Amino acid sequence: MISKEQIIKRFTSYVTVDTESDPSSETTPSTAKQWDLANKLAEELKAIGMHDVSIDDNAYIMATLPSNVNHDVPTIGFISHFDTSPDFTGASVNPQIIDNYDGKDIILNEAENIVLSPDYFEDLLLYKGQTLITTDGTTLLGADDKAGICEIVSAMEYLINHPEIKHGNINVGFTPDEEIGRGAHKFDVEKFGADWAYTMDGSQIGELEYENFNAAGAVVKVKGKIVHPGYAKGKMINSMYIATEFINSLPRMETPEHTEGYQGFFHLHDIKGNVEETILEYIIRDHDKGHFEARKEVMTKLTKELNRQYGREVITTEIKDQYYNMREKIQPVKHIVNLAEEAMIQVGIKPLTKAIRGGTDGSQLSYMGLPCPNIFAGGHNFHGRYEYVPVESMIKATEVICKIAELVAQESH
């Protein structure tokens, strides 16, 4: 039986270490403070009895739990990231333990009147009677993805302490900078040596994902011309007005706040501007490759059309692909998804197979030759002050890891 107290102790020891990543940094990891947890994890893996523990110059951690059977078994892997999102501060995290949640409002911060309420976050009601770990309302929690790390380490420790559970070689990997899209960039797939792996980076209990967005980023630069406003007639070109035309020409209802499921979107996430120059930063997302390419073409054609209307090049748009839908790489080895589903069923969880409305290290790793579906880690409301994780979900995720390892060994016998 996985120890609830040990899960809480391990998880809170991770989230109280600030590991916020920085997209403006050129280093790996992008922040020096990520080393604090990376070094701690490497030592912990050694302490619980893992073999071949390594941490490279970029803070990527790998370790192996050797096989305890005498027949050939595929080598599987489990991967999580230790950085937290720069969307909200991860400094001075002060986790709150809510025992036997009663289904009512949770006061996160009385002084600032910050309330985690099931009236707004309905998923809370799924966990009535359970133990929740929340923030104190002033930081994010870091369950994304320190819950995943906690589950992987706890599962490895459990398997080491219970050799009666038969398994093949299990490799684990912990990465920096996933939250800024670089978690897999310097991951050494060949060194990792697994036939396939799972990222423990999903949300609600039961989630199992092997589809994600195709993703691109677009930078739109609009050039204007500043002239004294008193003498500007026929001379001034206000880049902010042209930028507004660009924004309003894209489909208004195809934005994150109006889409769900398999629906894609254009998302304007940053804007900086004055008369002389305005810069728009977009992300483009779609599960369907054809629709994805069409979205990029919409932005390219809009740029050309506005330049034609103004009779000069007032807009440039640079679009760069970021990652692709892992389904293309997972479908030929779909049995690895079926294994995870069966493991969930055997530990009493109903699998919720769905498409990720986002990306994951698993997507990039799948295209690097390591098929890598995503499994729930249990947290909710990532990247903000309302983040929480049920301890019981973390325990179940730990059980799923152990059960996958056991099933792989059984099926290979």
* Residues identified as active-site: 83, 178
Are residues 308 and 385 located together in one domain of the fold?
no
- Residue 154's domain comprises 4-212+325-411
- In whole angstroms, give the CA distance from residue 380 to residue 163: 33
- Which runs of E-coded beta strand occur in 329-384? 352-355, 374-376
Are residues 242 and 382 located together in one domain of the fold?
no
Are residues 74 and 161 located together in one domain of the fold?
yes
Tokens of 117: 């309420």
Final residue before a domain boundary, out of 275, 295, 323 = 323
Are residues 272 and 159 located together in one domain of the fold?
no
Q: What is the pLDDT of residue 183?
A: 92
Average pLDDT in the 13-29 region? Answer: 97
- In whole angstroms, give the CA distance from residue 318 to residue 296: 10
Final residue before a domain boundary, out of 291, 323, 355 = 323
Are residues 339 and 292 located together in one domain of the fold?
no
Task: Say how many residues make up the chain.
Answer: 413
Distances (CA, A) of 146 to 16, 22, 65: 10, 17, 20
Are residues 395 and 318 located together in one domain of the fold?
no
The count of other CB atoms within 10 Å of the CB of residue 101 is 19
- In whole angstroms, give the CA distance from residue 210 to residue 194: 18
To 10 degrees, what angle do helices 335-346 and 391-411 make?
120
Residue range 23-43, pLDDT digits in tens? 999 999 999 999 999 999 999
Q: What is the pLDDT of residue 358?
A: 81
Are residues 117 and 58 located together in one domain of the fold?
yes
Looking at residue 343, its amino acid is A
- Tell me what percent of the residues of the chain surpass a pLDDT of 70: 100
Are residues 208 and 224 located together in one domain of the fold?
no
Does residue 413 have a pLDDT over 80?
A: no
378 — pLDDT class (breaks 50, 70, 90): very high
- In whole angstroms, give the CA distance from residue 318 to residue 305: 16
240 — pLDDT class (breaks 50, 70, 90): very high
- In whole angstroms, give the CA distance from residue 2 to residue 169: 21
Residue range 60-109, pLDDT digits in tens? 999 999 999 999 999 999 999 999 999 999 999 999 999 999 999 999 99
Final residue before a domain boundary, out of 277, 301, 323 = 323
Classified as helix, coil or strand, 403 is helix
- We report the CATH number of the domain holding residue 305 as 3.30.70.360
Mean pLDDT for the chain? 96
How many domains, the chain?
2
pTM of the shown model = 0.89
Average pLDDT in the 362-388 region? Answer: 96
Residue with tokens 């679009």: 319
388 — pLDDT class (breaks 50, 70, 90): very high
Are residues 296 and 361 located together in one domain of the fold?
no
Q: Which residues pair with 96 in a beta bridge?
A: 134
The answer to whether residues 93 and 16 touch, using CB atoms and an 8 Å cutoff, is yes
Q: What is the pLDDT of residue 412?
A: 83
5 — pLDDT class (breaks 50, 70, 90): very high
Average pLDDT in the 288-292 region? Answer: 96
- Tell me what percent of the residues of the chain surpass a pLDDT of 90: 96
Are residues 346 and 199 located together in one domain of the fold?
yes
Q: What is the pLDDT of residue 369?
A: 96
- We report the CATH number of the domain holding residue 173 as 3.40.630.10
The answer to whether residues 33 and 19 touch, using CB atoms and an 8 Å cutoff, is yes
- In whole angstroms, give the CA distance from residue 306 to residue 243: 10
Classified as helix, coil or strand, 320 is strand
Does residue 181 have a pLDDT over 90?
A: no
Are residues 15 and 147 located together in one domain of the fold?
yes
Are residues 345 and 302 located together in one domain of the fold?
no
Looking at residue 201, its amino acid is D
Count Cβ neighbours within 10 Å for each residue of 15-30 and write b for 16 or more, e otherwise: bebbbbbbeeeeebbb
Q: What is the pLDDT of residue 379?
A: 97
**Cis ω before 145 (30° cut-off from 0):** yes
Does residue 135 have a pLDDT over 80?
A: yes
